Copies of this chain bind each other. A is one copy, B any other.
Amino acid sequence: MALGKDYDYAAQECSIARALEIIGERWTLLVVRDALYGVRRYNDFLVHLKIPRAVLAARLQSLTEAGVLEKRRYQESPPRDEYVPTELGWGLWPALRALGLWGRAFNPDARPMRTFHHAECGTELGSYGECRACGRAVDPADVEMRPGPGLGPAEDAVSRALRAPRRLLAPLELQPR
């Protein structure tokens, strides 16, 4: 969303509006999604999202300021930073899961892109993110992401790396080519 400087959402006495102040802008939620998928580097976000560079820089900064991501130096000389989700960031997983399920319900013809499973027992997550077998909410770190039949050909290295079954939150390691 194009939010103005003065976030009128703030006038709303509603925690949904508060949430949208933080993650309601265009691209923001997709950045968080990628972060939970394991993307951590500026260039990887850039390649995967095809987002304008200036917008990405702005989103990473505001998410960091909000405490959703943490900017962490992973090497000096040349100085390089990565953005890793904080606990507050993981907390968006239920919302993202619910949105994803709704998006799937929205066009039921499409084959699912990815499926999410409880890593310990392998059962797919239920409609509100719980493990159907265990009957409990699953911690994001215990969620396994698997490629679904709806995925097209992977064009960039990040998409390729995200095709392998992997844990949520596990950092993305790019094998060259």
Say if the beta carbon of A50 comes within 8 Å of chain B.
Answer: yes
Would you give the shortest CB distance from A172 to chain B, in whole angstroms?
Answer: 16
CB–CB B14/A1 < 8 A? no
From the candidates B66, B99, B113, B152, name the one contacting A95 in the complex (CB within 8 A). Answer: B99
How many A residues, CB 8 Å from partner?
59
In the complex, chain B residues whose CB is within 8 Å of the CB of A152: 13
Q: Hey, which chain B residues are within 8 Å of A13, CB to CB?
A: 113, 150-152, 159
The yes or no answer to A117 lying at the interface (CB within 8 A) is no
Residues B103 and A15 in contact, CB atoms below 8 Å apart: yes
Interface: A119 (CB within 8 A): no
Of B18, B50, B135, the contact of A8 (CB 8 Å cutoff): B50
Contact in complex: B30, A16 (CB < 8 Å): yes
Q: How far does the Cβ of A160 sit from chain B's closest Cβ, in whole Å?
A: 13
Chain B residues within 8 Å of A94, by CB = 98, 101-102, 127-128
List, in ascending order, chain B residues with CB within 8 A of A128's CB.
94, 97-98, 126-130, 137
Given A26-B2, A88-B106, are A19 and B99 neighbors across the interface (CB < 8 Å)?
Answer: yes
A100 on the B face (CB < 8 A):
yes
Binary contact readout A4-25 vs B (1 if CB under 8 angstroms, 0 otherwise) = 0000110111111111101011
A161 contacts partner chain B, Cβ-Cβ < 8 Å? no
Bound CA span A152–B126, Å: 35
User: By the criterion CB–CB under 8 Å, are B99 and A49 in contact?
Assistant: no
Closest to A66 in B: B106
Which residues from B are CB-within-8-Å of A33? 14, 16
Interchain Cβ contacts under 8 Å between A and B, 7 examples? A15-B101, A16-B96, A18-B103, A18-B110, A22-B103, A128-B129, A130-B130
